[in-house]
Amino acid sequence: MTEQLFLTDAYAQQAPAQITEHTSEGGLVLNQSVFYATGGGQPGDTGSLSWSDGAGDHHLPITNTVKGEAGRIVLIPAEGEPLPAVGQEVTQALDWDRRLGHMRVHTALHLLSVVIPLPVSGGSISAEKGRLDFNMPEAPEDKQALEDALNALIARDLEVSERWITEAELDANPELVKTMSVAPPRGNGRIRLVRIGSADEQIDLQPCGGTHVRSTAEIGPIRLGKVEKKGKQNRRVYLHLGG
């Protein structure tokens, strides 16, 4: 199992690690990872590994990160590049601008589910925009009002934090789960909740295994994009960073 450093510090851009495995598909498994693996609508991280050995200094681009078996995180290296040996100590470094974009968009999408308080059937994140699919038979009557409400929440500089509950506690509080298409990560007995706002003035609380900014002010202004009809009962709502 790979230790998920991004869960305890989403702002860690570099960290040491040791290569523990080469997968049959050519991927690399580390003992600990700052790289987030694709999941929950959030893309896998990119970046690089660097190390030194008897042959000299090496720099290996990482083009994607995916989930492997038994809790492993698998880094996908650029094709045709020499790989570090199993047991090799390496330094991992994120493509930080891309990751930070994912964090800003991810937190903004949690707030979008607040200003549109409807069940979510899907979602997707990129470094500059994101979208949620809602159970929404009719398009919003006033998209500008939703955008204004979203930007007002962002401007409040609300704290974004986490806490953990047991799987039994989640089962007893099913209303915490907003996304019907993505089940909260289970298997180790604990569920991570991401909270926006304080315990006394909570704006949002939902299960999430992704990475987020520390404060809504870091998102910056956003604008709502097009609203697409995706079926009789569904609307897809896009948001874009940068206002």
Rounded mean pLDDT, 189-193: 80
Provide mean pLDDT across the span 211-221.
98
Residue 236: phi and psi, rounded to 5, are: -105, 125
| pLDDT per position as a tens digit, 83-99 | 999 999 999 999 999 99
Strand boundaries in 45-184, DSSP class E: 47-53, 56-67, 73-77, 89-94, 120-125, 129-135, 160-166
Q: What is the pLDDT of residue 21?
A: 97
What is the reported pLDDT for 46?
98
Contacts of 74 (CB under 8 A, 6+ apart): 23, 27, 28, 29, 37, 65, 66, 67, 68
pLDDT at 174 exceeding the cut of 80 = no
Q: What is the pLDDT of residue 55?
A: 85
The SS3 of residue 74 is strand
The percent of residues in the chain predicted with pLDDT above 90, rounded, is 77
Q: How many CB atoms lie within 10 A of CB 110?
A: 23
Indicate whether 187 pLDDT > 70: no
CA distance to 66, 76, 87, per residue, from 80 (Å): 19, 12, 21
Mean pLDDT of the chain: 92
**Residue 139 to residue 68: CA distance in whole angstroms:** 39
pTM of structure: 0.92
